[in-house]
Amino acid sequence: MSAQTVPDYEAQLNAILEQCHTATLDASIPDASALPEGFTGTLGHFPVYFPDEIAHAAGLLPVNILGGGNKLEMKHADARMGSFVCSICRSTTELGLNGTLAGLTGFVTHPICDAAKHLAGIWSRNLPDQMSEILYLPQNPNSPGAARYVAAEYQRLRAELAHKVGHPISDAAIRSSIRLYNKKRRLIRDLYRIRSDEPWKLSCSESYMLVRAGTRITCEAHIELLEQALTAIRHRHVAAQDKPRVVFVGGFCEQPPLEMLETLDDACFIVDDDLLIGQRWFTQDVPEDVGDPVWALAESYIERSHASPVQHDERKPKGDYLMAMLREGKADAAILTAAKFCEPGLDEQLFWSKDLDEAGIQYLVLEFEEKMTSFEQMSMQVETFAESLLFALA
Amino acid sequence: MTTAIAEAVPGTSRSAPAAKEIWTPFNAHSEGQRLFKEWYATLETANERREPVANVFVMGNAIEILRSFDFHMVFPEINSLQSGVRKTSAEFIRISEDYGMSPDVCSYVKADVGMMLKEEKEPLGKMPKPDLSVSSNMCGTFIKWAEIWERRHKMPSFVLDLPGQRSSSWVVRPGDAQHSADSRWVEDQFKDLIAKCEKITGKRFDIDRLAEIQGRVNQMVIHWNNVMELNRTCPAPYNAMLDGLTYIGIMNVYRGTVEGVEYMRRLEEDVRAKVARGEGRVPEERFRLLFSGTPCYVSMRRLVELFETWGGVFAYSDYLTFAAGGMDAAELLYDTSRPLESLAEVTALAAQRGLSNQFFAHERMEKQIKDYGVDGVVFHGIKSCRFVSAGMADTRDYISKRLDIPTLYIESDLIDPRYWSDAQIKNRVDAFFEALQQRGGAGPLKGKATHAQGRTA
């Protein structure tokens, strides 16, 4: 009888993180000819939120287009977009013009800001063979009729995708996709629970990579990856360090470079954040066994979603959700970031800072760009901030 | 229901000038200024008179509903641009940046925040505290701006969500399934807004009153549409980026009022007379131009002067379309026998028209170039306005290559004087005209004259 071997969880986790790290740095999209069975193409969508379930049910792999990171060389977009437009819109345009996104079946953007809306026009002028459009998610979720409007918009999208793939998208297929995505979102919530309860076991940059990996692979594969990762993380033996607990906000659309998150991790425990918030948009499961699955998605969007700087919702007053994140994460302070030239982010950053001033909570203001490559100065700022917090808390 | 009853801007004289009885010469600019001063004077005392006040924007504002509840309308965009015209914007922008606002956000917002923080008289008067704000998703910044007021004034902000064009070659016809779905959503929101207005004002919604206001808006739209069409004639009777700015100011501020109808009626009469006399805005029109974007209000006259000295006139600007909420098409008239439904239907179409002008600019611009017989297109990128600017360079590339139309791209800002570089802009303008001349130039009245028939209001 042989002794049962204990899995090397650390090695497993390292391998998963390495795979996610590679995926995070790669702005390309999966090749349509190499997609898993059941998928016939890829549907690109701009942040913040997109109903992945509808694309998934159509047999299109939803791919969250998250810009070009800090390795992309800009050859075309500089001549097509003013210098005062945010990096993610400029690099997305570059990826469209340089052929990186040529394999997409379609590209969908949203009315999260004016620059993002312009991407649909840019796409139609330069990639006329690709389906490109604006999914008009509402900026008024409070008036009666909002869920009905969202459902109609989703049905329109469903019809267009069905036309594109050449077959109808059944309710049963959407229900099945909802079940899968609910499971995925539950696993992501588990990751964030670990971040809050035992932040020394999982850093912000690690959890970010694990979530981001799901923007390039099928939901099924991502669930498997997350389950393996969570098991390994739970078995991780890492001693808690003396670091302040902070909340990070401002990463809801343009993505901060991985090196920036690692710099923050070095000095703080980031117990909550709004990175890739669209991947875990719903605060509860979308109802699974209902008559109309599109209605379930639409109603969840209106009634059970996270707050974001790019959506006005009178039930989610500005500042309140940051306070809730701080309270629930038992955080000592906040890191308030905004992407350069991001109007919603920069305006929200000011709101946040005024609220924190009023509440007497410490915060650090940072501005970033996805293309930034130097982090020394930021590192010094963050270290000083963390030390001052530790000193104040001692 | 549609009988014309004298309706004035709340608080102003209710007797509109009887044009047929007393003839006075009409000067569109000075009459516009008079009306603006009157409007500002009325706003100054609105709080004292305990009359309701709403902050609104020039696009997507539901003015017809607000006016039916006797709200005074404050247009913070107009206050901000006035601070630019009067060269006071730099100080307000500095104050807001000291307060923590980023150098990279909309300069209109910063000027407004600066004015609020300074708590002094704004360019033309002291603004009353609002009871409500109505913003829309037509410009993303509107929503964030309204959130600033919400926090500062502790008052509700209503965001009117107006779905725009979803993709290229998107055609929505009145009454088709997509238009019906969008209209129903807009109507649902109007009903919600009406309930809020009833709560704020303590008044019951009066649908007959709404219909009367809509009737007057219809008259203004017809006159405005005719005025725009008249500029298709050569020489162009007015400059879209100078005279046109006064006209859309009145279209917005006095929308649905007796004064507004009268101004637009006399304006059309005046412009029509100029066309009949062959009188152009510039003495010798040599180049007809299309201006895309917003003006630089701190150098508004200078900008126009740089073009007019070459005999260039802006016959059309997309600014006149989107900054009047898209209400410049004669087909966008309210059916006053079904006021609320019609308000939603027209608002959905007009908003889309205004939005499409920016987000799918190339589609409409091609037609505008033909309609106005333009020789070149001038794109004005605004550093702090992504709504007009983010797709502009790409649109320019498309227009230049596909249509073989000469284009010029210049960059400055709405009201931040730090971004106006006179020598650099003049060099580019001069080079643009030299290139136009090399293409054979364009002579005055070179077979371009078109007859604008217009409709009768």
Band of pLDDT at residue B409, cut at 50, 70 and 90: very high
Residue B1 lies in a domain: no
Cβ–Cβ contact A115 with B under 8 A: yes
Residue B391's closest chain A neighbor by CA? A118
Q: DSSP secondary-structure letter at A130?
A: S
How close A117 comes to chain B (CA, Å)? 7
For B256, left (φ over 0), alpha (ψ -120 to 50), or beta?
left
Point out the residue among A113, A118, A351 whose CB comes nearest to the CB of B151: A351
How close B247 comes to chain A (CA, Å)? 26
- The amino acid at A128: P
Residue A131's closest chain B neighbor by CA? B167
pLDDT at residue B10 greater than cutoff 60: no
DSSP bridge partners of B293: B380
Residues lower than pLDDT 50 in chain A: none
3-state secondary structure B182-238: HHHHHHHHHHHHHHHHHHHHCCCCCHHHHHHHHHHHHHHHHHHHHHHHHCCCCCCCC
Q: Is A53 strand, coil or helix?
A: helix
Q: Span B185-209, mean pLDDT?
A: 98
How close A313 comes to chain B (CA, Å)? 9
pLDDT of residue B3: 32
Residues of A in contact with B193 (CB under 8 A): 143
CB contact under 8 A, A132 and B167: yes
For an interface test with B, give the residue of A46, A86, A113, A117 to mutate (most B CBs within 10 A): A117
Residues of B in contact with A135 (CB under 8 A): 166
Domain hosting residue B226, numbered range = 28-438
pLDDT of residue B7: 44
Q: Is B57 strand, coil or helix?
A: coil
For A110, left (φ over 0), alpha (ψ -120 to 50), or beta?
beta
Point out the least confidently predicted range of B226-235, B432-441, B445-454.
B445-454
pLDDT at residue B229 greater than cutoff 70: yes
pLDDT at residue B449 greater than cutoff 50: no
Taking Cα atoms as reference points, which of B384, B143, B189 lies closest to residue A112? B143
pLDDT of residue B8: 47
Residue B47 lies in a domain: yes
- Expressed in angstroms, the distance from the first to the final Cα of chain B is 18
Residue B328 lies in a domain: yes
Residue B16 lies in a domain: no
Residue A344's closest chain B neighbor by CA? B144
Q: What ipTM is given for this predicted complex?
A: 0.94
Residue B394's closest chain A neighbor by CA? A80
The model's pLDDT over B64-100, given as tens digits with 9 standing for 90+, comes to 999 999 999 999 999 999 999 999 999 999 999 999 9
Burial A155-181 (b: 16+ CB within 10 A, else e): bbbbebbbebbeeebeeebbbbbbbbb
pLDDT at residue B52 greater than cutoff 70: yes
How close B341 comes to chain A (CA, Å)? 15
For the stretch A163-170, contacts whose Cβ atoms lie closer than 8 Å and that sit 24 or more positions apart, written own/partner, are A164/A41, A164/A58, A164/A60, A164/A105, A164/A106, A164/A131, A165/A40, A165/A41, A165/A58, A165/A59, A165/A60, A165/A105, A169/A54, A169/A57, A169/A58, A170/A57
pLDDT of residue B110: 97
Q: Report yes or no: B168 and A124 within 8 Å, Cβ to Cβ.
A: yes
CB contact under 8 A, A120 and B359: yes
Residue A353's closest chain B neighbor by CA? B100
Q: Which residue has the higher pLDDT, B121 or B245?
A: B245
The model's pLDDT over A144-195, given as tens digits with 9 standing for 90+, comes to 999 999 999 999 999 999 999 999 999 999 999 999 999 999 999 999 999 9
How close B54 comes to chain A (CA, Å)? 18
Q: Span B259-279, mean pLDDT?
A: 97
* Distance, CA of B283 to chain centre: 27
- The amino acid at A171: D
The model's pLDDT over A339-392, given as tens digits with 9 standing for 90+, comes to 999 999 999 999 999 999 999 999 999 999 999 999 999 999 999 999 999 998
In chain B, positions 182-211, which contact chain A (CB-CB < 8 Å)? 184-185, 188-189, 191-193
Residue B447 lies in a domain: no
Give the up-direction half-sphere exposure of residue B275: CA atoms within 13 A in the CB hemisphere. Answer: 23
Separation of alpha carbons B115 and B91, rounded Å: 9
The model's pLDDT over A182-197, given as tens digits with 9 standing for 90+, comes to 999 999 999 999 999 9
Q: DSSP secondary-structure letter at A255?
A: P
Contacts of A246 (CB under 8 A, 6+ apart): A264, A268, A269, A270, A271, A331, A332, A333, A334, A335, A389
Cβ–Cβ contact B431 with A under 8 A: no
Domain count, chain B: 1
pLDDT of residue A317: 82
Residues of A in contact with B146 (CB under 8 A): 312
Band of pLDDT at residue B446, cut at 50, 70 and 90: very low
- The tokens describing A393, both together, are 């808390």
In chain B, positions 326-365, which contact chain A (CB-CB < 8 Å)? 355, 358-362
The model's pLDDT over B95-128, given as tens digits with 9 standing for 90+, comes to 999 999 999 999 999 999 999 998 766 666 788 9
Phi, psi of A43 (to 5 degrees): -115, 115
Residue B9 lies in a domain: no
Count the neighbouring beta carbons within 10 Å of the beta carbon of residue B13.
12
pLDDT of residue B348: 93
pLDDT at residue B249 greater than cutoff 80: yes
The model's pLDDT over B324-336, given as tens digits with 9 standing for 90+, comes to 877 777 778 999 9
Place of tokens 């343009």: A254
Separation of alpha carbons A255 and A278, rounded Å: 12
Residue B4 lies in a domain: no
Separation of alpha carbons A17 and B177, rounded Å: 48
In chain A, positions 143-162, which contact chain B (CB-CB < 8 Å)? 143-146, 148-149, 152-153, 156
How close B453 comes to chain A (CA, Å)? 33
Residue B217 lies in a domain: yes
CB contact under 8 A, A350 and B102: yes
How close A34 comes to chain B (CA, Å)? 29
The pTM assigned to this predicted structure is 0.93
In chain B, positions 221-260, which contact chain A (CB-CB < 8 Å)? none
pLDDT of residue B88: 93
pLDDT at residue B20 greater than cutoff 80: no
CB contact under 8 A, B188 and A144: yes
Query: What are the helix (H) ranges across A213-257?
Result: 219-234
Residue B96's closest chain A neighbor by CA? A350
pLDDT of residue B216: 97
- Which H or E run contains B79? helix B76-85
Taking Cα atoms as reference points, which of A139, A151, A380 lies closest to residue A264? A380
